[in-house]
Amino acid sequence: MCTAVSFLSKEHYLGRNFDLDISYGEKAVITPRNYPFKMRKLQDLTEHYALIGIAAVFDDVPLYYDAVNEYGLSMAGLNFEGNAVYLEEVPEKLNVTPFEFIPYILGQCKTVAEAKTLLEKINLVNIPFSEQLPLSPLHWIVADKEQTLVVEPLASGLKLYDDPVGVLTNNPTFDKQLLTLSKYRGLSAKTPENTFAPAVDLPVYSRGMGTIGLPGDLTSSSRFARAVFTKAHSICEPTEMSSVSQCFHILNSVEQVKGCCELEEGHFEHTIYSACYNTTKGLLYYSTYDNRQLTALDLHKVDLDGSEPNVYPLLTEQNVHYQN
């Protein structure tokens, strides 16, 4: 399971928890403007906007899970098991494979509005990266400071949804996720009035009673509701550090602790990394399951006119600041 959150403070942020049992050896990767992204069915992208993000690197090709470009357009791919359908090649469309999708959009679009126009022409074609890396079922959140979009590859083609809550998890389809939120209409950060049985004295024996009913479990629809509630109520200062911390606090409200979700015997889904992008400035902050310290990378610290990806292994070892 994974959760992504588009979050507006003074600047815009995209947060993402990457939840799985195993890592694909992902790295932080800055791809400059002149790295040629080879395309299977289209002309190679020899010049494009620069990207910073998390990617698995196979055969020297960065396969992005999440990223932001130099204009502040950001994207993240999340699992969409049982629902994602990639289609056969369609001659009149732009045939893009799922592993090319993030660089293709972020490499050429500055805003969600521009991405929408390009997305109308795209067919996500059923071509795997390699035998070792078959097609994987995904859907995507696409966000800038103005708006958030969800893109789902369905049997009927690409479905675009405006995402009014700025959150994406996994299944079911996004329209159903949104509808489920209505169940929680009554929840609040305030102590609720006793509308249940006004004639009966129901003491307020705890703080937080307005959130009773907010689901605490790990399913994707529960994480969706929890992330939406937390994001909708969280407040922070309009500073970089306060906003980044807030973004990680929202992500932490839906993180997966190792041992609580067993996939197969002895394999446990857990939050392998959490990432927070300042999309305006091209900054990537991350923490990993074992390293709770934030590590940061800046898109603008490398030569953006270069032609080789800059690859940084994730710092996964715990780093404690000993105070005495």
Least separation in angstroms between CB 214 and ligand 6SB: 20
Residue closer to ligand 6SB by CB (options 159, 233) is: 159
Widest Cα–Cα separation across the chain: 72
Q: Which residue has the tokens 């800038």?
A: 144
Least separation in angstroms between CB 1 and ligand 6SB: 3
Residue closer to ligand 6SB by CB (options 101, 248) is: 101
53 sits near ligand 6SB (criterion: CB under 6 A): no
Strands, E assignment, 51-112 = 51-58, 61-69, 74-79, 94-96
Q: What distance in Å separates the CA atoms of residue 40 and residue 63, rounded to the nearest whole number?
A: 14
User: How many other C-beta atoms lie within 10 A of the C-beta of residue 301?
Assistant: 12
Residues 227-266 that bind ligand 6SB (CB under 6 A): none
99 sits near ligand 6SB (criterion: CB under 6 A): yes
79 sits near ligand 6SB (criterion: CB under 6 A): yes
Residue closer to ligand 6SB by CB (options 9, 289) is: 289
279 sits near ligand 6SB (criterion: CB under 6 A): no
Residue closer to ligand 6SB by CB (options 68, 187) is: 68
Residue closer to ligand 6SB by CB (options 56, 143) is: 56
222 sits near ligand 6SB (criterion: CB under 6 A): no
104 sits near ligand 6SB (criterion: CB under 6 A): no
Least separation in angstroms between CB 195 and ligand 6SB: 36
Interface segment toward ligand 6SB; rule CB under 6 A; list 15-23, 182-190, 289-297, 312-320: 15-23
Check if 2 is active-site. yes
Interface segment toward ligand 6SB; rule CB under 6 A; list 75-83, 113-121, 238-246, 251-259: 75-83
Q: Which residue has the tokens 């800055």?
A: 30
2 sits near ligand 6SB (criterion: CB under 6 A): yes
Residue closer to ligand 6SB by CB (options 19, 152) is: 19
Instruction: Report the interhelical angle of 240-252 vs 220-233 (nearest 10°).
Output: 150
Which string of x and - marks every residue 112-151 that binds ligand 6SB (by CB under 6 A)?
-----------------x---x-xx---------------
Least separation in angstroms between CB 136 and ligand 6SB: 3
User: How many other C-beta atoms lie within 10 A of the C-beta of residue 211?
Assistant: 18
Q: Of 44, 59, 81, 175, which one interacts with ligand 6SB (CB under 6 A)? A: 81
20 sits near ligand 6SB (criterion: CB under 6 A): yes
Residues that bind ligand 6SB (CB under 6 A): 1-2, 18-20, 24, 56, 63, 65, 77-79, 81, 98-99, 129, 133, 135-136, 170, 220
Active site residues: 2
